[in-house]
Amino acid sequence: MKVFSFAGIIFNADNVCTIQKINMKKSEKEDTIVPGLQIVTVAGEVNFSFENEEERDKKFDEFLHNLEKL
């Protein structure tokens, strides 16, 4: 089984549909944008937020690189 973990969650790589960069609003009343990653699996989706776009982009590239190895 090909697995990876992130933020304490273990994912089965065979069940991952997409990993994508997203931008979320901090709240409905605020227009502040929070960079994030969305991991979609056959069972559902999980969103992760980051302090800045550079941190998110680094993690996204790391995911892609590590998934290619699996």
pTM for the whole thing? Answer: 0.83
Domain boundaries, the chain: 3-69
| Amino acid 26: pLDDT | 82
**CA distance linking residue 29 with residue 39, whole number of Å:** 26
Identity at 40, one-letter amino acid code: V
pLDDT in tens, 19-70: 999 999 888 888 889 999 999 999 999 999 999 999 999 999 988 888 887 7
20 close to 37: Cβ distance less than 8 angstroms: yes
Helix, strand and coil in the chain, % to nearest 5: 30, 45, 25
pLDDT in the model for residue 57? 96
